[in-house]
Amino acid sequence: MAEKQNLAGLRVLDITQYIAGPTLGRILTDLGADVVKLEMPPAGEFSRTGSYPPPVNGQAPNYIYYNRGKRSLCLDFKRPEGAAIVVQLARHFDVVIENYTPGVLSKYGLSYEAFKEVNPRIIMCSISGFGQNGPRAQYPGNDMTGQAFSGLLHLTGTDDGTPVYPGMYLADGGGGVNGAAAVLAALYYRDRTGVGQHIDVALYECVFHIHDVFLMQHLFTYGDYNPGPTGRHRPGATPCGLFKTRGGWIVLTVLNHYWKKFTRDIGKPELASDPRFNPYTARWDHRKELEPIIEQWLQTFPTRDDALKFLIDHHYLAAPVMDLRETVAMIKREGRGALQTVDVPGYGEIPLPKVPYLFSETKVEFKPVLSLLGQDNRPLLRQCLGYDDKKLDELEAAGILIEDRAIKKDEK
């Protein structure tokens, strides 16, 4: 049984906000790293008091979702005394992650060069909208700007060309995932050479590099082919897209070499010789004529599940279009460990997703805790920098260290 964790013993200083950077920290947490969230006074990370999603019982879902399992250090690094403490802390960490607009942290003395001076082995990963250099480096960026610059939004939309924003933050999530991969690669390099490095991750490039068929066609026609949105269908195989049944929507792909078989299986073998649908290119050009034929056949089944059973039994790529309630129920039922429960102070237990890796020798698991703001100030600074109570009291009195009022003095 897997007991150990891949990144046990790795120490990460998380200077991030909102989604992309916290996602990177969350991944490393799930893999066993000790991740310390560095938050700014007076209220900590902005999402702790954010309005979306709306707070529940005084708790901020966005903060909890991306920062469970991390420790909290609340320290005013905009002041020179606070920034100096952060730099000294870097001696005791392997990795620093951040996603501020380029130049912001450097303004306070928290640059890669400053960290490297005290710890040559340090690895720093910076996630930003447009990278640390280039013509847009200083522009603020978020998920939507990342998707817009990547070309994805132009490809995602209705047949008439109206863009549609996807149902998740693909650029932010991609930034976190690519940041994690880059950190792991840098750790491997450091193991071999003893040298740390600075990693530069741009959100729009994270989306751009996972483009597929449309980008291939554009590049291999020397830029002549410039695709646009195709609504609920995608080229490559036809039919391939979304279709309506009696009980809801399904996705269906019929690979091109299965086309003749499909026409027989749905009781319409004449389609195999219909010039509108042969060869494949004609079938794609006439997909709007093929769509009602397939949906009319799907309506002969009393339920969506019946139609899916037929398709799957006949070896076609098909699945229901599930809403989130259905998906969460399925994940819980299948028991592959994609969710882990955390006890949220003032709220209770709630299941949250963790990274989707199953290792044969190690486990994926985050610490089932949610730190209050500044909860770990004193133990961290005692352990790493040897501060005594007098020094810690002085930092609190000066407003450099802040903690949640709910933290009792006798628990320090």
- How many angstroms separate the Cα of 219 from the Cα of each of 225, 280, 290? 8, 22, 30
Average pLDDT value for residue range 226-234 = 93
At 364-379, the pLDDT tens digits run 999 998 999 999 999 9
pLDDT band at residue 321 using 50, 70 and 90 as cut-offs: very high
Task: Say if residues 78 and 104 touch (Cβ distance below 8 Å).
Answer: no
Could you tell me which of 199, 138, 204, 198 has the C-alpha nearest to residue 171?
Answer: 204
Confidence check: pLDDT of 12 > 70: yes
- Exposed / middle / buried, residue 270 (Cβ in 10 Å: 0-12, 13-18, 19+): exposed
Strand-pair category, 34-39 with 198-202: unpaired
What is the CATH topology of the domain spanning 11-209+343-411?
Rossmann fold (3.40.50)
Is the omega angle on the peptide bond into residue 227 within 30 degrees of 0, that is, cis? no
pLDDT at 410: 47
The residues spanned by each domain of the chain are 11-209+343-411, 240-322
Confidence check: pLDDT of 111 > 80: yes
Amino acid at 257: H
Query: Which is the catalytic residue, given 34, 172, 200, 376?
Result: 172
Which residues, in sequence order, are bridge partners of residue 348?
Answer: 344
Quote the percentage of the chain above a pLDDT of 70: 98
- CATH 3.10.580.10 at 240-322, yes or no: no
Write out the two tokens for 319.
Answer: 């699945």
Write out the two tokens for 96.
Answer: 């620093």
Alpha-helical (H) ranges within 267-359 are 280-285, 287-298, 304-313, 324-334
pLDDT at 290: 97
Whether residue 172 lies in the annotated active site: yes
Write out the two tokens for 85.
Answer: 């403490």
pLDDT band at residue 1 using 50, 70 and 90 as cut-offs: very low
Q: How far apart are CA 359 and CA 356, in angstroms?
A: 10
